[in-house]
Structure 1
Amino acid sequence: MADIKTEKTVAEELREAARHIRENARGTAAGPWKAAPVWSPDSASTSAVYSHAYPTGTVESEVVASGQKRYRKGGLRNPCNARWIALMNPDLAEPLAALLEHMADIAEFAAKRGLRTAAAGQVEHALAVARVLNGTAVPAPSGDAPSGPQLRR
């Protein structure tokens, strides 16, 4: 009976994430994307992300609207989600996919030769990104929710 390979190599995981990025970037509104506050009569949305590759105010230019969220002193406007979405626009897809593939090449080279390269730490960081993208990341212990950067543009 033949052995069935069930675990992926580090290089395979990195390349899977690169494919996932490229597949999901196809068909999206062109970048760059920018976040902006919006007014909504029912307060259903308070921030939006727009593609600057299309004329302002067109249906094509709107990428996503973000709903209201109470925070701190009871305010309703929280543009953090919109800023984060805008930062992760499709212009990032190809450079990030290429970086993951480059790290896959390094991991594969090292694995074939039984080496621990000077780039091992970099490969581990790239693998952490790949696992989030592939949906295989190990969640943080409960109560240890990650806090992301407060990005301003």
Structure 2
Amino acid sequence: MRSTGLLLLLFLSVSFVFAGCKQGEEAVEKSEEMHEEAQQKFDASMPDKLAPEVWNLIQTENYKLTWKTWPEKATIYVNPIAFEAIGKDDAEFPIGAIIVREKLSNEGNVEKVNVAYRIGGNEETKGWFAADYAPDGEVIKVYERPVNIRP
């Protein structure tokens, strides 16, 4: 009788383990599916969400006072990562490079600020994020494919 009870207990334990494993596999598959859907939604909306953060970053960095200008380009500011890459004409800018171009009016006032930021991760844009801003930081346009990174 005692061995029958142990066998029954062992059988039930094994059954629960197999049932739990099956449910675990289904949960993992569903989780992966949900992650892929979330990733697609995030990728589609990321540039618009990123634009204000990039503006805040360049303001926090105080780019006009702390960054160097592109050689012979007084209205193009580059962070230290980008500045180091400028001398290497054939080289790509590394991840973390930020280039800020100010478009001036005839009177010399800033009309528009273009920011290109190499954040990596997006094959279509070669890892670049780019947007135009009004002088007050309002996002004017987020580019799907940044062009003309080097002036």
TM-score under structure 2 length normalisation: 0.30
Q: Per residue, is there more strand in 1 or in 2?
A: 2
Q: Per residue, is there more helix in 1 or in 2?
A: 2
Higher relative contact order (CA 8 A, sep 6+): 1
Largest Rg, 1 or 2: 2
